[in-house]
Structures are given as C-alpha cells and as structure tokens.
Amino acid sequence: MPKHPRRRYWIGFDLGATKMMACVFDDDFKLHGSRRRKTRPSDGKEPPLRRIADTIEQALEAADVGLERVAGIGFGTPGPLDLDQGALLNAPNLPWGRLPLQRAMAKRFKRPVAVINDVDAGTYGEYVSGAARRARCAVGIFPGTGIGGGCVYEGCILRGRKLSCLEIGHIQVQPNGPLCGCGQRGCLEAVASRIAIAQAAAAAALRGEAPHLLQNAGADLAAIRSSALAEAIAAGDQVVENIVRDAARWLGIGIATVISLLAPDVVVLGGGLVEAMPNLFLTESESAARARVMPVFRRGFRLTTAQLGDQATALGAAAWARQVHAP
C-alpha cells in the first residue's frame, strides 16, 4: 500500500565530491526516506547519470513513495554551473566534464528539475527549516575543504545572471598571502579552510609540537580531518588549537566583509569544521567580525551554527525545486 497516497513529495539530491545522497521530503519537508552512496563507484565504470538516477530510485523505494507522487527534483551540486541549462560544467573535484543534470533527469523521471550550487542549497535549507528561518537576508558560510558561501534575500537565492555568486572563500584577506587553489594569493580559503589548517597542523606535528595529532592522524593531509583536529585539541595539542583559532579569526574577517556589503540579519556557519568545533568557531569568528564592521552594523546581525547537518543541501535543493516549480 503506497504511503500517504494524496501527499505530494519532493526529491532533494546532494551531489558531493565523495558522496551523493538522495532524500524524499513531503511538502512540510519531513524526511520520508533517503539513499547515500559513494559518488564514484570503486571500478569507475558506472556512468554518473545512471548512478544518480539509480540513487533517486533507491531513495523512493526506501520512502515507499511512487514516482507519480513526486512533484519535482532539486539538485545541489558543486559549481561551476550553467544555471540556464541546469548543467554541471567542470567541477574541480568531479572528473566528469559537462554533466547535463537538468535535461537528463527531466527526461529520465518526467518531472521538473532544478539545479543549484550546493552551498546555495544548504543556505536555502537553513532558511526554510533551520537556523535562518524568517530571516530577511541570510548568509550561509561553510568552511571545509574550501570555503563556500550563499545568500538568501527575501526568499530568493542571490545569484548572478548565469553563475552562482558569494564566493567568500576567494575574498582576499592577505595581500600577497599564500597561494590559493583558484590561482590567486591571499584568499580566505588559503588561510582558513580545512586544507590550510591541516597543512599548518601537519607541519606542527612533524616538528613535535602536536604529539596527539601525530599519533592519531600522522602528517598526512588526507588523514587530518575535522574530527582529528578536534580530538587533538581535546587531548591537549595547544598548537593545533592556536592554528584553528587563527583560522576562525580569519573567517571572521571574511564575514565582516560580507556584513558590510549585505547587512544580513543572520549569518549561519556550517560544514565539517564547524560541526566538529562549533563553540570555537562561533566565538572566534564572531569576535573578529564584530570588531571589524562599522559600529552601526555590530548589533544588526546574529551569528549562529547550522541546524540541519548533512541534510541541509538535499533539503534546500528540494525546497528550491518547490519554489520554482510548485503549481
């Protein structure tokens, strides 16, 4: 017997560099089922569009929802995107080249499809059902491997004509600073992302200044995840704590720039680093941000942590699909 035969459902899809997740939500954004898989199969042979479609079908099966009850599908994916075509162009961590998500999934499932940037989707999810509910202007900042940003203004995602925007990770905070992955120097991402933190922490571990980190994760950047940093701090690696606090303060400087430009009433911090060390990031980032904005802005915003965890992107993508395709 189908579940709630009269209820309408929306699929939200989080297409990450390492993992993909399809979630089935109802109109109130209650989760009814999901399916999570590695983004790339171990043998590398399954075409990505087929793997994405299979994951959606498995999520519908887990939710006990028939495709006929689905009103639309939303994708949150790393950029750069062609927003007009709903296509992934050439994400640096996804070696697929151009991926015509909107066209292919609309053809496969015969349902409306919306494709947006993953951080835009996460920010929109927090606006709809999380830490930024009822905000007039909400900014989401998600430090992780990089540092992504998104903005929801009066219920709409702030975007360019063809591209997503609010690339806070590439605001310059150190003239002639460290080289960033984008090719520029001194970007926020080059001094405050998890990769930047891990590089500094690995060097400290090799110098003998972070014995707990060295014992538990070594000096391999791939092994120095957010949880490893948090565990090293809890175990007493003071130098690791200092490195992370410095990064959080740099993040606050970037936040101050965004506040001066957009005057958001809510700034939401999310992502793996913040989830692992919420109090540290909130305290240091807020202190740095409030110290660097004009006095008139200091009481005009609230800095908080995300509430939706790893469902934020999928929920936001489903909510955006409803926003643009609901009758």
pLDDT digits (tens, 9 = 90+) for 265-323: 999 999 889 999 999 999 999 999 999 999 999 989 999 999 998 899 999 999 999 99
Cα(256)–Cα(287) distance, rounded to whole angstroms? 10
pLDDT value of residue 169: 92
Residues 98-124 have a mean pLDDT of 94
Cα(299)–Cα(283) distance, rounded to whole angstroms? 16
**Residue-wise pLDDT tens digits, 98-110:** 889 999 999 999 9
Is a pLDDT exceeding 50 seen at residue 88? yes
Residues 204-232 have a mean pLDDT of 93
pLDDT value of residue 41: 76
pLDDT value of residue 146: 86
Residue 57: pLDDT band with limits 50, 70, 90: very high
Closest alpha carbon to 119 in 76, 160, 161? 76
Residues 215-236 have a mean pLDDT of 93
pLDDT value of residue 164: 82
Q: What region, left, alpha or beta, does residue 269 occupy, with left being phi > 0 and alpha being psi -120 to 50 degrees?
A: beta
Is a pLDDT exceeding 90 seen at residue 196? yes
pLDDT value of residue 5: 56
**Block residue for tokens 């930024």:** 132
Is a pLDDT exceeding 60 seen at residue 79? yes
pLDDT value of residue 43: 66
**Block residue for tokens 């992107």:** 313
Q: What are phi and psi of 36, to 5 degrees?
A: -120, 135
Domains and CATH numbers, the chain: 9-124+311-325 (3.30.420.40), 134-306 (3.30.420.40)
Q: What are phi and psi of 280, to 5 degrees?
A: -60, -50
Residues 116-122 have a mean pLDDT of 94
Is a pLDDT exceeding 70 seen at residue 185? yes
**Of 58 and 89, more confident:** 58
99, 61 in Cβ contact below 8 A?
no
Residues 94-123 have a mean pLDDT of 92
